Amino acid sequence: MVDPFSSRPSPKLIFGNGVIKELPGEIVQLGVKSLLLVTDPGLVKAGHVEKTCALLKEAGIGVHVYENVSENPTESDAEDCCNFAKTKSFDGFVALGGGSSIDTAKACNFLLTNGGRMSDYHGYGKAKNPLLPFMAIPTTAGTGSECQSYALVSRDGSHEKMACGDPKALARLAILDPEITNTQPRPIAVQTGIDALAHALESAVSSKRTELSSMYSEAAFRHILRAIDDIVDCNPQGDDRGHMLLGAALSGLAIENSMLGAAHASANPLTARYGVIHGRAVAKMLPHVMRFNEGVEGAARIYERYSAILKEFGISSMSLIDWVTHLTGRMQEIDITADDSEIRELASEAKAQWTGDFNPRPVEESDYVELYRAAFALPKPA
C-alpha cells in the first residue's frame, strides 16, 4: 500500500547549456518590469553579473544589483539587503549565485513585503502579505535552495540557523545552466557536491519521506553518482557539471517534500562554532549518522537499495555507507580539537536544530555526543 501524502509545488525548471538566454522571455511572461538582482562579489568579478544584466537590459527589463551577499547570511545580512531594496523601484527578484545569494533574496523578499525581522518568519507560513515574484539562477551545485520555499538565515550572535518558509517564497522559475557553474572554484565544487549528495541521502530516509520525495531523492542520487568522483578529484569531465546541477535541484525538491536529518543537525553547530564550511561539516558527520540510522529497518532497507544502485554503476566492492565513508574521507580533514565539554555543548546545539526532528531514528542529546566522538575519534571519558 502507498502511504497518503500531499505534495508541495515546484518552480518551473529550465535546464541545459546556455538556457540563461531564456531568462528575459520568462520574466516578461511573468509581467515583471524591473528586478533586484541579488548576488555576491565573486560573481561580479567572474563577469556573470555584467552578462546577466546586459541580457536583461537588452530585453527592456530594468535591473538593480545588490552584490554584498555574505556566506551563511544572518538576520543583519537580510536587513542590509532589504535596506538597499527600499531605495530602489522594482517588482521582482532574481538571485544569481549559490545558496547564500538565493537565501538572501528570499529573506529580503519576506522583509520588504511583510516587514519585521527574519525571526518573525521562523517556521512555515507566517507571511501575511504576497511576496514579489522570485527567480533563481544557481551558480553552484549544492544547496538546491532554488527548489525550496525556505530561506535559511542565521541568528545574529548565536549563528543558529533558522528555516523561514512560506509557499509564497518559492521561486517561480529556476534557470539551471551548467555552463554558468564552470567558473565555480573546484574546491568549492567539492564541498557543495558533497552537500548535494547528503541532501539526496538524508531526504531518502527522512521520517517525512513520501512516494514523491523518494523518487526525487533517487533521481538526484543517480545524477550525482555519475559525477561525484570526478568532482571530488577536482577533475570534472564532460557532463559532470550538468549532472551535479540537476542532482542538486532534484535533491532540493526532495527536501521540500521530506526534509533532512541528523547529519545536517550535527554539521550546523560545527559551522556556527568553528566556521567550518558547510559542505565539509556535512561530510564529517554524514557517514556516522548513516551508521546510526542503519539500526532502523526502514533506513537500512533504503541504504540496501542504494547499495544496489552503486552496483549498477560498477561500484560492487562497497556498501553505500562504506562508499560514503571512503568518498568523504578523500576531503581535507577538519582541523578542530574538541574536548569532552565542547562535545557536549555541540550536542546540545545539534539537538536544538530543526532538521534532526526528521531523522529516521530519533536522536537524543546523548546520541549526538556519541556521533561527535565517533567523528573526531575521541574515546569515551573514563
Which residues on neighbouring strands pair with residue 12, listed in sequence order? 173
Q: How far apart are CA 80 and CA 376, in angstroms?
A: 37
Q: DSSP states of 265-313 as a string?
A: HHHHHHHHHH---HHHHHHHHHHHHHHHHTTSHHHHHHHHHHHHHHHHT
Q: Measured between alpha carbons, how far is 253 from 149 in angstroms, rounded to an integer?
A: 10
Instruction: Write down the pLDDT at residue 2.
Output: 65
Q: What is the pLDDT of residue 73?
A: 93
Cell of 373: 566522538
Q: Using CA atoms, how far apart are residues 101 and 348, in angstroms rounded to an integer?
A: 29
Spell out the domains of the chain, with CATH numbers in brackets.
12-181 (3.40.50.1970), 186-375 (1.20.1090.10)
Q: How many CA atoms lie within 13 A of 248 on its CB side?
A: 35
Q: Give 69-107 pLDDT, tens digit per residue.
A: 998 899 999 999 999 999 999 999 999 999 999 999 999
pLDDT of residue 5: 62
Euclidean distance between CA atoms 225 and 140, whole angstroms: 17
Residue 92 to residue 353: CA distance in whole angstroms: 32
Please identify every stretch of the chain with a pLDDT value under 70, giving residue numbers as ranges: 1-2, 4-7, 9, 334, 381-382
Cross-strand pairs, 74: 154
* pLDDT recorded at residue 337: 75
pLDDT of amino acid 170: 96
Query: In this predicted structure, what is the pLDDT of residue 7?
Result: 64
Q: Which residue has the cell 561500484?
A: 315
Based on the number of CB atoms within 10 Å of its own CB, is 130 exposed (0-12), middle (13-18) or buried (19 or more)?
Answer: exposed
The angle at the Cα of 231, spanning 97 to 216, to the nearest 5 degrees, equals 70
C-alpha cell at 25: 522571455
Within 10 A of 361 (CB to CB), how many other CB atoms are there?
17
The pLDDT assigned to 51 comes to 96
- H or E stretch including 233? none
Alpha-carbon distances, residue 62 vs 39, 227, 239 (angstroms): 16, 38, 34
